[in-house]
Amino acid sequence: MRIGITCYSSYGGSGVVATELGKNLSKKGHEVHFITSSVPFRLHSFEGQIYFHEVKVVTYPLFEHQPYALNLAAKMSEVIKYNKLDVLHVHYAIPHAISAYLAKQLNGGGVKIITTLHGTDITVVGSDPAFLPVTEFGIEQSDGVTSVSKALYESTMKEFNITRPIEVIHNFIDINEFYRRANPEMRKRIAPNGEKILVHISNFRPVKRVDEIVKLFARIQKVVPSKLMLIGDGPERGKAEKSCRDLGICDHTVFLGKQNAIPELLSVADLSVCASENESFGMTILEAMSCGVPVVAYKVGGIPEIIKDGKQGFMITDNDSDKFVESCVRILTNDDLHAKLAKSGVERAGSEFASDVIIPKYEAFYRKIVES
Ligand code: GMT
């Protein structure tokens, strides 16, 4: 098939999923055309059957704001026409599904539009209700819609008046990249005195509650000699760093900023912690699991679809911070429990979320929509 893919190409789970999907589809013989504003950050090498079409945003003295959605629609239209796309798969309803709709109209129909909902495209409506009709329109006008979790499917159905079916296709991981490797030198750099290592990875947006992670860790490290490795960057980083200073735990925390070597870093971690207020899926949880790192997280959104409580880690209900701390301490002080959770995580990542399991679901979905 000839498949176009549009996503936000900078840091972010949806961009990772879209790029890895394109790479996997090309390996399976499909022709893949990325239509994005910059090269997706996970697309580092030249891969056969993958083409990149840059969306350039025009500036003009009259334009107070750059018309990205229109430039995107124009580029999509061009790629649909000259590359004879069968499918245009957009990740994020706003504005991608709307631009795709316009591009399809410009070409007189033909191409099938598939929209994948990632979560924040739906929750953004909460911050500005004016987005509701346009998001709803984008979903309704798509030929096929997928959601990255059952939880997101349910919240979409609750929030919008959607009449078309939405298929749940979970996010996936490359288990040949995300596996645990021995890295004693790195471990020693982070925890020179043999401390346990906790890891938190996110884009440090308010929804991730990184400050809560720091506060929880301050309590954990009083009981278990440990270090907190924070990976990523974003608007809440300054607040989290200040909390470390206020709590007197700077010597126990390491802010690494944005990093590419995620599997290598996860390989030295003993526990992954997530305090997100909401998470439609939680890619970093799956990445941790696949690298044999047990997870403790608040039970929100799609996270319970990835981790089964007591099997690959612990799910904390009702924002119970005492229970969160207690669960972390339990895992960090019980080697047998730790080994059991870690093993189960690797197995579950491989059996339920590996690319080999999920990519065929996307291919089958594309076929169904193209033939409809
Ligand atoms: O919240 C983020 O980290 C960014 C956002 C995105 O679009 O990249 O993430 C959303 O999509 C990811 C990929 O499907 C999911 O793993 C994240 O859970 C989801 N974020 C939220 O729901 C807050």
Nearest CA to ligand 1 atom 9: 13
22 lines ligand 1 (CB under 6 A): no
118 lines ligand 1 (CB under 6 A): yes
Domain pair 2-172+354-371 / 184-352, same fold: yes
Torsion of CA 111, 112, 113, 115, to 10 degrees: -150
Q: 258 CB contacts (<8 Å, ≥6 apart)?
A: 11, 231, 232, 233
303 lines ligand 1 (CB under 6 A): no
Nearest CA to ligand 1 atom 4: 12
Residue with tokens 């997101």: 152
Nearest atom, ligand 1, residue 119 CA:
22
Structure tokens belonging to residue 36: 């994005």
Query: Could you list the pLDDT tens digit for every one of the 372 residues in the chain?
Result: 999 999 998 767 899 999 999 999 999 999 999 999 988 877 876 677 999 999 998 888 888 888 899 999 999 999 999 999 999 999 999 899 999 999 999 998 889 999 999 988 787 776 788 889 999 999 999 999 999 999 999 999 998 999 999 999 999 999 999 999 999 999 999 999 999 999 999 999 999 999 999 999 999 999 999 999 999 999 999 999 999 999 999 999 999 999 989 999 999 999 999 999 999 999 999 999 999 999 999 999 999 999 999 999 999 999 999 999 999 999 999 999 999 999 999 999 999 999 999 999 999 999 999 999
CA distance 226 to 196: 4
> What is the model's pLDDT at position 64?
81
282 lines ligand 1 (CB under 6 A): yes
Parse the chain into domains and list their residue ranges.
2-172+354-371, 184-352
Nearest CA to ligand 1 atom 23: 279
| Domain 2-172+354-371 of CATH type 3.30.1490.20 | no
> What is the model's pLDDT at position 126?
66
CA distance 312 to 329: 15
Nearest CA to ligand 1 atom 16: 282
> What is the model's pLDDT at position 137?
95
- Of 3.40.1190.20, 3.20.190.10, 3.40.50.2000, 1.20.1250.20, which CATH number belongs to 184-352? 3.40.50.2000
CA of 117 to the centre of ligand 1 (A): 10
Burial 88-111 (b: 16+ CB within 10 A, else e): bbbbbbbbbbbbbbbbbeebeeeb
